[in-house]
């Protein structure tokens, strides 16, 4: 088999307060939502990732274990880690559409009432943090 | 534990030079399989600790176990299981790279020539070059390659990437990470580059004033620290159950970096996640022993 380009190219932001393995998990999730990754795709092997970016192999293992736990991927012995279909892993498109519309309407409303883009983003970030900080 | 799940274990370890302590009251454990960063200002004891672990210096007080053994017992076996590299790279400047490799092969029973040649090919360092004619970065890479070809279980690296340009440093760290992936080596490295710590290390030890002020999994460190800020012109009391590591307050507001045990649910405070760099800096600035404990205290980890 010839060398194929990786299905996903990870990035790591060492200045983020988000643990590196979570950054990888998030990137896989986003790639699923955007269609960059699909069911049956093979994720790059730990060794390939370590060759591409400066990252601890344990971090990649940890991320893949987490993806398995979340039902997004599965490890197949001797073959690698593959994306599995899971409706809850990626938002269903109908659901996504309605959330998008709702958000848009609210943002237009906020803008019409005189809020700046910055103020609106700040408000969203704040609401997100207040509800999103408590995990598990 | 007896089965040697810790690669490095120290209890009240200290090293006294004539008048001053190079390291004091150092108690820590580094589990197997980690890439651990040793961070601290110059003179904090990082090199002293690494040298003692490599068996090059003798502790003045306390105990030290490396891969479950004492490095000072005259045990030659440990020498082949541990790779040590410091700024004074053990390479002969007049040698060619290939000659250095052969020298290494003759002196190490577990020498893996294939690994060495692969790394050097990757780095585009020709085997026939004289060490003298290589750049500083390339010399550092050759020295690390020689260290890795021994395929040690534990690598002790004293500022392996210091004084390298960004690309050379990245190449060096990737080769190190590949070794970790292939051989499951454990690594303890000292560094001043906090960005590297966040990228490649999964365990962090902060030394300040010759003492350990933080020692834990980076993931746990990230999850257990928060920056709290509030607009307040008095002295707002921090939420219960947090310990303040660093306080940066202005006339009208407070900003504190804290260690937390539980999620913070206090509307008066705005909660943010600090980066690993911010956390380490806060500990370096405060220099106070705060989070020395590990998540789950080992039930008497001694195992005689």
Within this chain, do residues B45 and B165 fall inside the same structural domain, yes or no? Answer: yes
Which residues of chain A neighbour B177 with C-beta distances below 8 Å? 50, 54-57
B184 within some domain: yes
Within this chain, do residues B103 and B154 fall inside the same structural domain, yes or no? Answer: yes
* Chain A nearest C-alpha distance from B264 (Å): 8
- CB within 8 Å: B181 and A55: no
CATH number reported for the structural domain that contains residue B207 in this entry: 3.40.50.300
Which residues of chain A neighbour B170 with C-beta distances below 8 Å? 54
Within this chain, do residues B45 and B170 fall inside the same structural domain, yes or no? Answer: yes
- CB within 8 Å: A133 and B195: no
Tell me the residue range of the domain where B177 lies: 6-214
Nearest CA in chain A to B226: A17
B302 pLDDT tier (thresholds 50, 70, 90): very low
Q: Based on the structure, what is the number of domains in chain B?
A: 2
For residues B174-199, give the mean pLDDT.
91
Tokens 């991320």 correspond to: A63
pLDDT digits (tens, 9 = 90+) for A57-113: 999 999 999 999 988 999 998 899 999 966 554 555 566 677 778 888 888 988 888
- CB within 8 Å: A20 and B199: yes
Q: What percent of chain A has pLDDT over 90?
A: 38
pLDDT digits (tens, 9 = 90+) for B15-34: 998 888 889 899 999 999 99
What is the pTM (predicted TM-score) of this model? 0.81
What is the model's pLDDT at position B2?
Answer: 42
- CB within 8 Å: B181 and A134: no
- CB within 8 Å: A58 and B271: no
Within this chain, do residues B81 and B195 fall inside the same structural domain, yes or no? Answer: yes
Domain ranges in chain A are 20-83, 93-132
The CATH T-level fold of domain A20-83 is Arc Repressor Mutant, subunit A (1.10.10)
What is the model's pLDDT at position B287?
Answer: 63
A68-95 core/surface letters (b: 16 or more CB in 10 A; e: else)? eeeebbeeeeeeebebeeeeebbeeeee
Within this chain, do residues B118 and B45 fall inside the same structural domain, yes or no? Answer: yes
Within this chain, do residues B171 and B242 fall inside the same structural domain, yes or no? Answer: no
Within this chain, do residues B39 and B152 fall inside the same structural domain, yes or no? Answer: yes
Within this chain, do residues B241 and B273 fall inside the same structural domain, yes or no? Answer: yes
Within this chain, do residues B37 and B129 fall inside the same structural domain, yes or no? Answer: yes
CA trace torsion A72, A76, A79, A80 (10° rounding)? 30
Q: Is the pLDDT of residue B152 over 50?
A: yes
Residue B265, classified by CB atoms within 10 Å of its CB into exposed (0-12), middle (13-18) or buried (19+), is: exposed
CA atoms within 13 A on the CB side of B96: 7
Assess contact for B231 and B267: CB atoms under 8 A.
Answer: no
- CB within 8 Å: B264 and A133: yes
B265 touches chain A (CB under 8 A): yes
């Amino acid at each position: 088999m010839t060398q194929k380009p990786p299905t996903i190219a990870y990035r790591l932001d060492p200045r983020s307060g988000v643990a590196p393995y979570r950054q990888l998990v998030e990137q896989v999730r986003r790639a699923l939502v955007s269609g960059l990754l699909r069911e049956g795709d093979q994720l790059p092997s730990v060794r390939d990732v370590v060759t591409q970016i400066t990252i601890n192999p344990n971090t990649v293992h940890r991320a893949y274990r987490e993806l398995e736990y979340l039902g997004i991927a599965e490890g197949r012995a001797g073959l690698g880690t593959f994306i599995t279909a899971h409706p809850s892993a990626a938002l269903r498109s109908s659901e996504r559409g309605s959330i998008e519309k709702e958000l848009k309407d609210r943002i237009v409303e906020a803008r019409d009432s005189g809020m700046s883009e910055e103020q609106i983003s700040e408000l969203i970030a704040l609401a997100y943090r207040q509800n999103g900080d408590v995990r598990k | 534990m007896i089965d040697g799940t810790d690669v490095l274990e120290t209890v009240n370890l200290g090293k006294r030079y004539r008048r001053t302590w190079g390291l004091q009251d150092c108690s820590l454990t580094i589990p197997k399989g980690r890439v651990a960063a040793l961070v601290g200002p110059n003179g904090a004891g990082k090199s002293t600790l690494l040298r003692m672990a490599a068996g090059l210096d003798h502790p003045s007080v306390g105990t030290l176990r490396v891969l479950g053994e004492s490095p000072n017992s005259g045990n030659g076996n440990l020498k082949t299981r541990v790779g040590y590299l410091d700024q004074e790279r053990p390479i002969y400047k007049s040698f060619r790279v290939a000659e250095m490799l052969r020298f290494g092969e003759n002196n190490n029973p577990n020498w893996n020539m294939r690994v060495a040649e692969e790394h050097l090919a990757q780095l585009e360092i020709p085997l026939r070059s004289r060490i003298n004619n290589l750049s500083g970065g390339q010399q550092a890479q050759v020295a690390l390659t020689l260290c890795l070809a021994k395929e040690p279980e534990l690598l002790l690296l004293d500022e392996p990437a210091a004084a390298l340009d960004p690309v050379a440093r990245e190449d060096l760290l990737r080769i190190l990470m590949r070794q970790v992936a292939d051989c499951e080596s454990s690594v303890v490295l000292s560094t001043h580059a906090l960005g590297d710590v966040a990228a490649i290390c999964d365990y962090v030890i902060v030394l300040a004033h010759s003492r350990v002020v933080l020692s834990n999994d980076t993931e746990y460190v990230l999850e257990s620290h928060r920056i709290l800020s509030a607009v307040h012109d008095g002295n707002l009391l921090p939420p219960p159950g947090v310990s303040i590591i660093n306080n940066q307050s202005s006339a009208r507001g407070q900003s504190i970096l804290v260690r937390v045990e539980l999620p913070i649910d206090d509307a008066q405070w705005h909660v943010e996640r600090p980066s690993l760099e911010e956390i380490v800096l806060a500990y370096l600035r405060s220099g106070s022993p705060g989070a020395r404990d590990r998540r789950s205290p080992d039930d008497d980890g001694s195992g005689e």
